[in-house]
Structure formats: structure tokens, C-alpha cells
A = this chain, B = another copy of it.
Amino acid sequence: MEPFRPALKPGQKHAIVIGGGFGGLAAAKRLSRSPGLLRVSLIDQRNHHLFQPLLYQVATAGLNPSDIAVPIRTQFSEEPEVSVHLGRVENIDLEQKFVEGKGGVRIAYDYLIVATGAQHSYFGKEGWEDFAPGLKTVEQATEIRRRVLSAFEAAENEPDPTEQHALLNFVIVGGGPTGVELAGAIADLARTVLVKDFRRINPADARVTLIEAGPRVLAAFDEDLSHQAATDLGSLGVEVRVDQRVDNIDANGVRFGNEFIPSRSVFWAAGVTANVVTRTLGVPVDRAGRVMVEPDLSIPGHPEAFVIGDAAHLEIDGQLVPGLAPAAIQEGRLAADNILALTSGAATQTFRYVDKGTMATIGKHKAIGQRGRMKLHGYIAWVAWLFVHVFLLTGFKNRVQVFLEWTWSYLFSRRGARLITTRDWHTHAPAAGTLRTPTDSSPGLRAAERDEVLA
């Protein structure tokens, strides 16, 4: 079947951008600046752009999903040349120049930007995902939130001390920024937010363990900052275990080395891989599925097709361009500029990465930051992080709201989104909690509880 080609004005070309993340959004915005020359179709499998660096705050009840998610569509309300399509691209044909969705629907392009980003990889152990969700989507964030909050609720009701301890063990696998921020935020949630609200357990007894395969956490930072981060995590009560490879994760807990941590709340921040669609291109990819792009971000042999962001592998002076939002945005803009150059017969430009620096928070009041040789840590880094992130948030309203949420939580140690929701919305769906009582408890715990009550 002939691929569909949207109606074009005379002389107009059709550009498809796949993916509405930082890179894809920047690319489509830039492409829309050329009135008349291009019609742009932005395709994403979700209706919203997500400010991923703050997703850990949704997972720990600090922010609402919609505080960090905006409809992609509203970003282009004023750009009539850009149409937004909700859908998933499953295949790309670089030779015949079309993208293909489920059921064989095909759309032809003249220019293409692949900005499909990354997803979690369990290194072939996909079965671990049920017991250790990752943190890439809104759904995963609310699932983690549900598990974290439910664990404290279940522990409060749990008569068996062994199971109660397991319920209060939180394990995060992967010591990159996501793992560190999630571990810090869970520790902080337990120690400062939940601490007053329970009667039988002390939420501050929660044990948070961060497991990292490499020799240090936050390996993308300089060694001194990375050690500073590990120290700060320790003072928050997070146990940092480096040089540890996870052997197994199941319903009982996590096994690594000679150790086993019984846990009902394991979270995955260990590995990412490019979205599977890059493997349909039939061009060389690296081990993580990222396309080996030319210096102008185009696909070798296909000057009209570009790959950007976490889907692209580009080395500059032997250094891989990092998987950070600023890099994706810069690549998105350059890929769009190169398409605009091609439409006017000009030469494309080589990508040059401007290092905007990188930051990570550790709990509520500390962070580390690095930009070239400039380094920051502690409270001042946290304040810098706050400003940078509030200002980077897409959309004025979200900024105000996130700022309010944070001010509130900072002043009162509360979290605004402590909501346990279930996946089934039906009237007779199973409830979030099962009624447990110390009825079936060991005598020890009952005595302890009686003491507490009589105290």
C-alpha cells in the first residue's frame, strides 16, 4: 500500500518528528519557524511531554503528575504547520521514507527526526520488572508511589515482625542520578513526612539501600563530588553499596553477592536502552541500541534522516555526548536547522555540544552540581538546582505550581500528593488495602503494641 502523504502546499515538504521529549519538542518548535516550507507531523505514543528530571518527585508524592507533564498538543496551538499525532511508530523504512504504526499504517516523509529516547533495560532479565519497576513514565512514577505508600500502610497493619521489616526495606538498584534522587527522596519521606502519622510503626525505621554495580555513585561526576554525594546519602540514612551486582530480584527481595535483602519495594534505576524502534532502521547501533550518527546527526547514507537525544550515539573528541536534556535540546535544534538548510540547498552543520552542566539532588536540602571545572555541593547546590529546575520547566503555570508545592513541603515537611490509587477503576475492584490486625500476631508484637498504647 502506498504510504499516506499529507496534503502539502506547492513546494512544501513533509517532516516527521518521532517523540515529544526534550529533543523532539525542540526540533519541532525550530522546524515550525520556517513558515510555508515545511509541514511538520510530531508523533508520540503519549499525549504529554514529561519533565523527566523531576519524575522522582512524583514517585515520592512530592509533585503531581500534571505538575511535570504538559500536553504536547498545547505546545503547538499557535503553530498551524505542526500537527500532533498520538500513536506509536513501530517501524521506520529509510529507503522508502515512511514510518509505520501498528496495523501497517504508513506515513511518508521527506525529512525525519528520530527522537524516541530511552527506556529501561533489565539486561535480559525482563521478568524482574514486576518486582522492580523503573522510573521513566508517569505510570511508573505513580506505581512506585503506590508501592512506597502502601508499604508503610501494610507495615502498620502487619502482625508478623519479619514481614514488617521486609515491608520497611526499600532497595534502589542503580546509583546514577535517578537512583540517588529516588533513594534520597524515599529516605526523606520516611524520616520527615510520614513520621508523625503512624501509631504502630516508626516510619523512620525504614531502611533504604542503594545498590550500584560500579565503584561509586553518580559516576558521571568528578570523584570528589561523587564521594560527597555518598556521604550526604549516608547522613540521610541511605545505605550505599557499591561494586555490587544484583543476582536476582523476586517477590521476596533482592539477592546480590552473598547478601539478601528481603523487600517488597525494589525499584530499578540501573540500565537504559534506546527505544526498540531504532533497531528497525537497519543501520549500525551501539550496545544500548543508539544509532551511530554522523557529526551532523544524520543517519549514515541518509542525509534527510536524523537521530537525536538518547536514541543517538555521537562522540566528540572521544567523549560521548551525554544523555541529558540540554544535550537533547541542542541536538533537536541542530537537526531542525540542518533540515531547514537542506530545504534551501545549503550544507548541514556539525553538532557542537555546549556543556550546560549537570546536577543531582540528595534528599531535601543538598545537591551536587558540576559544569566544566566549576563544582558545587551542599545547600548552595540545592538552591541552584531548585532555580534551574523551576525555570527549565515547560510552561509558566507549572513553574508557579511546582514552586508552591516545594515551598509548602519545605516549610511544613508535607507532601501534596500522598495518594494511593489502584489500577482498576471498577466499582467492585479489589481495595487498595487488606484489613490486617494484630489478631494473628506473634505474642511479642502484641505485647510491644500494648506497651506502646499504655505508654
Binding site for B on A (CB under 8 A): 1, 3-4, 6-9, 39, 43, 45-48, 64-67, 69-71, 73-74, 76-78, 80, 83-89, 101-103, 105-107, 119-120, 129-130, 133-134, 136-140, 142-143, 149-150, 153-154, 156-157, 196-200, 397, 400-401, 404, 408, 414, 416-427, 429, 431-440, 446, 449-450, 453-454
Contact = CB atoms under 8 A, between A and B. Distances in A.
Contacts of A433: 45-47, 85-88
Contacts of A105: 435-437, 439-440
A449 B285 CA distance: 38
Contacts of A107: 435, 437, 439
A129 B427 contact: yes
Given A138-B419, A419-B47, A439 B8 contact: no
B427 A139 contact: no
B199 A48 contact: no
A88 B420 contact: no
A48 B440 CA distance: 26
A99 B180 CA distance: 43
Contacts of A139: 421-425, 429
B435 A87 contact: yes
B134 A427 contact: yes
Given A71-B418, A74-B197, A439 B136 contact: no
Nearest to A434: B102
A326 B45 CA distance: 44
B439 A4 contact: yes
A149 B408 CA distance: 31
Contact of A47 (B43, B153, B404, B440): B153
Most B CB within 10 A of own CB, among A80, A404, A414, A435: A435
B153 A3 contact: no
A255 to B, nearest CB: 22
Given A47-B418, A196-B77, A425-B143, A435 B89 contact: yes
A88 B434 contact: yes
27 contacts: A7-B449, A43-B435, A46-B431, A46-B433, A47-B433, A48-B419, A64-B65, A64-B417, A66-B419, A71-B418, A73-B197, A73-B198, A77-B196, A85-B156, A87-B157, A87-B434, A88-B434, A101-B436, A105-B440, A107-B439, A137-B425, A138-B421, A139-B423, A139-B425, A140-B425, A397-B414, A401-B416
Given A419-B66, A425-B143, A153 B106 contact: no
Given A139-B425, A436-B101, A48 B87 contact: no
A137 B426 CA distance: 9
Of A134, A137, A453, most buried by chain B (CB within 10 Å of CB) is A453
